[in-house]
Structure 1
Amino acid sequence: MSLHTEGTAQDFILINSPIFLVPTAKKFAGNLALLAKTTDKAEGAKIVLSKVLQAVNGALGAVGLDSPKLGSLGGAPQVDPLGETYFSVTPFRHGDYIAKYRLRPLGNSLTGLTGRKIDTEDRPDAIREDLRKEMAAIDGEWAFEVQLCRDIEKQPVEDPTVEWKEEEAPFIQVATLRVPHQDSWDDVVVQQVNEEMRFSVWTGIAEHQPLGDINRARRDTYRHSADFRATANRCPIHEPTGG
């Protein structure tokens, strides 16, 4: 399988969990089928469903039985995204090595937001509103880190539900991401990013080729989603060209 290598764009798709929800492509497809059932629901119904799932997942979490599947369908707690640490969860080539990636907030302005729950009661755009206010004043800084596979048994490629323990495979900072304070909801930029771009683990260079069963399954899934969105919005996708 070849990568999409127009220009020099490299996407890193990260989530705020060190592990993936499911171990195999078959189970991943099952989760997508569940998610697809909510895609064409009215926005109000989605909000109600999300609140119900959050309550159920919160109750399960109180006794140590929280469900990743419920979280993926909208049951995850609404915490401030700026304070979260993000992981690639699936492995990639890293030149001649195998690696996972992490983006970790630096400085009190971001780490002070870690775990802060956002009140979404009667606020349909609560997360957007809070982030817009915060980013207007914060110069954000994150460490971009690489975790190299050192033992294929302890850091498996084909099962992303197995966490690569940091004490066995430490993260190494290789770059710093700096984002100056700004309006995070500028209408022109939102249009360009939300409607005119697509993001995929398969958009990148050969040296960072996605590895494993789940990543192979994500390739056509992400492409189909982007193509559907381009058709529905009647807006072609514009790939960044780097520079």
Structure 2
Amino acid sequence: MNTPHKEATHNPQSILLVEDEQDLSQLVQLNLNALGFRVFHASTLQQASQLMTDTDIDLLLIDRTLPDGDGLMLCQQLRLQGVQLPIVMLTAKDSEADIVLGLESGADDYVTKPFSVLELRARIKARLRFVDKPEDKSLQFNGITINCDTREVIADNTELQLTAREFDLLTFLASHPQQVFSRMQLLEAVWGLNYEGYEHTVNSHINRLRSKLAHRPRLADTVKTVWGVGYKFSPPGKEVHA
């Protein structure tokens, strides 16, 4: 296999790869290094947990079947702790039930083996960039602030705990209030790729996002379903420009 050309980057971002297949690990690391990422590797959940404690990580790329357990365990643990970094599952478990379980456990993306290295690289790059970031870097709606710099959502002076994907999804919808988007349009805009056959990914993330929004009265029912078409963001009040 030819070595990929090195792509220049500044302030390299760090990726933790949790994978126990040596050949696959080397292949993934080679390609991510070529993109300019700093890659840390663990082959067990225990090693991954230690690296997460000792190292600043920008994205977690994790297999499910590991020597000491299921990668979902670490994913769930991180989400319960409020850790919001992007998590991408990389696994041979490819049934629809497994994919939905992974997404509902807090993963932002789910890549099944065998996979295209080019596709994996594109998905990771998409996860590590902001989506449709407004020029003023914040959106404000009647007591609600979506801050794109700090990636925080504040409602009634309380921060809402969202995953990276949930934040991107809410930010994209809120950047286009009252505009209706189909699931495929949301996949292309928020996920950064055309995930043909995986439109249920949007449903899972919309449901998780809504369940969190429902805890704040001002945010409840702001993400609406337009039956037969898609979803839209309905501001809770007149927008106030920053």
- Give the TM-score of the pair, scaled to structure 1: 0.22
Higher relative contact order (CA 8 A, sep 6+): 1
More strand by share: 2
